[in-house]
């Protein structure tokens, strides 16, 4: 049981820690809006990772095999959404910098906790390679160690907890950056920087390897 717990924690951190476009999006949201929005976005990402971990435990190689053929198209859909979000963020930041009068925060986009959670959950679910990753780990442990169903579920829950803890750390870091850069120029820099990073990471995601 302890082995399954530790393996799940390592797997969760393994899929969550590499900084990608989603992490930059979570950090940017927390920096530009509030810690509540950042936390909601972080939990959306972690929920998706947890769902994929459970799917991998229950379905294993069969589900991974079904998902692999559509991984390419889904990757392009996710890339398009991320680029659109990056563009929207940059344009909104430039407009806000040029006309700072409307100080009230807008509820559009991902600027509320509910929208941030649902948006990041949906966006992270568009990454089918996560279930392939978890399936490979789960199947490997079942073959090597005879993982029982209970141990497999412990593995999945541990992976969710690990992902959530990391995403919350990312959101908190973004919120701290936002507090440091409270001026108009700081907010513009944060928004444009996150947009550029997201686009760069999306290009790297789509390039052939």
205, 21 contact by CB (below 8 A): yes
Radius of gyration of the chain, Cα coordinates, nearest whole angstrom: 18
pLDDT of 144 higher than 60: no
pTM higher than the cut 0.85:
no
pLDDT in tens, 93-124: 788 777 755 444 444 578 899 999 999 999 88
pLDDT in tens, 35-62: 999 999 999 999 988 888 887 777 655 6
Helices (H), the chain: 2-16, 21-32, 35-67, 71-98, 113-125, 129-145, 149-180, 184-206
């Amino acid at each position: 049981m302890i082995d399954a717990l530790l393996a799940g924690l390592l797997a969760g951190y393994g899929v969550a820690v590499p900084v990608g476009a989603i992490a930059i999006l979570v950090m940017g949201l927390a920096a530009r809006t509030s810690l509540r929005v950042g936390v909601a976005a972080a939990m959306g990402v972690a929920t998706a990772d947890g769902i994929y971990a459970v799917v991998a435990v229950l379905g294993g190689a069969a589900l991974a095999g079904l998902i692999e053929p559509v991984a390419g198209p889904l990757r392009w859909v996710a890339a398009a959404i991320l680029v659109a979000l990056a563009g929207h963020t940059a344009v909104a930041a430039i407009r806000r910098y040029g006309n700072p009068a409307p100080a009230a925060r807008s509820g559009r986009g991902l600027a509320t906790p509910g929208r941030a959670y649902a948006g990041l959950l949906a966006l992270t679910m568009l990454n089918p390679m996560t279930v392939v990753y978890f399936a490979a780990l789960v199947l490997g442990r079942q073959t090597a160690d005879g993982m029982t169903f209970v141990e497999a579920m412990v593995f999945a829950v541990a992976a969710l907890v690990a992902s959530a803890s990391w995403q919350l750390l990312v959101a908190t870091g973004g919120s701290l950056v936002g507090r440091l850069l409270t001026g108009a120029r700081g907010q513009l820099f944060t928004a444009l920087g996150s947009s550029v990073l997201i686009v760069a990471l999306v290009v790297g995601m789509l390039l052939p390897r």
